């Protein structure tokens, strides 16, 4: 019986996270287009039909409708259920990593904003300042509430990656986008310096491999840019959950 209760509990947590990220799909679509995501019912972008409440069950409804609009039959991108499932997974990971504490809520909200940043940057090559300010507010609230890490780690995190990125960009124009620099400053204030460094390392490795793939596939030229924000966001998400163990493992490699 206890296993059934646990299953129901975790399923509800997953669905709650997926439901919140379902709304983030709306934000990701509307924010770059300067459309209000606060008002207005969700609708099919192809036929403009208003979605019914039973057509908006996160993740599962996409499979039920076989990835098509109920009204016009237009294809619905699999990115929508993927984002929703990501929200459910993040909710479960936050509960697993931080328990039912304020840290779990702060981490989930931080991940939610990172997700919006990542997809908008991937679509538009831009990171809206409002999202960076949102991360900054989350960091300040977490700081004010006394959540870990401490204020020294947060202040160092604010500058340890953003300042070098700024200096590199001043020396090599276009090396990093202004949005990336501001993102790492705000996120560093939330993560602290240790997790911020781990996140940056992971992002550079993943972004470098992706860049090599683009060059090898001749999808990008040597002087062409690609969105680096998604890699920074993915690195920060990974560092949030596994940053300290990864750092300890890496430093342990140098113990002789």
pLDDT in tens, 62-111: 999 989 998 898 899 999 999 999 999 999 999 999 987 899 999 999 99
Phi and psi at 39, nearest 5°, equal -110, 160
Q: pLDDT category, 236, cuts 50, 70, 90?
A: very high
pTM, two decimals, is 0.94
Residue 133 has pLDDT above 60, yes or no: yes
For residue 90, the model assigns a pLDDT of: 98
- pLDDT one-digit tens code per residue, 162-210: 999 999 999 998 889 999 999 999 999 999 999 999 999 999 999 999 9
Residue 238 has pLDDT above 70, yes or no: yes
Residue 256 has pLDDT above 80, yes or no: no
For residue 222, the model assigns a pLDDT of: 64
CB 128 within 8 A of CB 176: no
Q: 96: closest CA among 186, 34, 6?
A: 6
Residue 255 has pLDDT above 80, yes or no: no
For residue 38, the model assigns a pLDDT of: 81
CB 55 within 8 A of CB 67: no
Block residue for tokens 């140098």:
254
For residue 216, the model assigns a pLDDT of: 86
- pLDDT one-digit tens code per residue, 46-62: 888 888 888 889 999 99
Q: What is the 3-state secondary structure (H, E, C) of 225-240?
A: CCCCHHHHHHHHHHHH
For residue 223, the model assigns a pLDDT of: 64
Q: Which residues make beta-bridge pairs with 43?
A: 50
């Amino acid at each position: 019986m206890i296993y059934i209760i646990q299953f129901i509990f975790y399923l509800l947590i997953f669905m709650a996270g997926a439901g919140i990220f379902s709304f983030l799909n709306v934000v990701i679509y509307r924010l770059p287009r300067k459309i209000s995501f606060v008002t207005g019912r969700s609708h099919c972008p192809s036929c403009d039909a208003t979605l019914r409440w039973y057509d908006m069950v996160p993740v599962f409804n996409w499979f039920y409708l076989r990835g098509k609009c109920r009204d016009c039959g237009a294809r619905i991108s699999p990115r929508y259920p993927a984002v929703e499932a990501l929200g459910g997974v993040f909710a479960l990971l936050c509960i697993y990593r931080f328990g039912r504490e304020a840290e779990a809520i702060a981490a989930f909200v931080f991940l939610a904003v990172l997700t919006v940043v990542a997809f908008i940057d991937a679509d538009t090559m831009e990171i809206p300042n409002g999202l960076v300010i949102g991360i900054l507010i989350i960091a300040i609230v977490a700081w004010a509430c006394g959540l870990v890490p401490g204020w020294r780690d947060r202040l160092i995190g604010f500058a340890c990656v953003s300042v070098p990125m700024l200096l590199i960009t001043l020396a090599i124009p276009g090396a990093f986008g202004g949005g990336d620099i501001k993102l790492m400053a705000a996120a560093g204030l939330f993560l602290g310096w240790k997790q911020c460094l781990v996140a940056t390392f992971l992002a550079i490795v993943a972004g470098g491999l992706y860049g090599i793939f683009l060059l090898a596939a001749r999808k990008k030229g040597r002087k062409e840019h690609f969105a680096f924000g998604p890699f920074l966001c993915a690195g920060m998400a990974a560092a949030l959950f596994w940053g300290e163990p990864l750092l300890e493992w890496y430093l342990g490699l140098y113990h002789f």
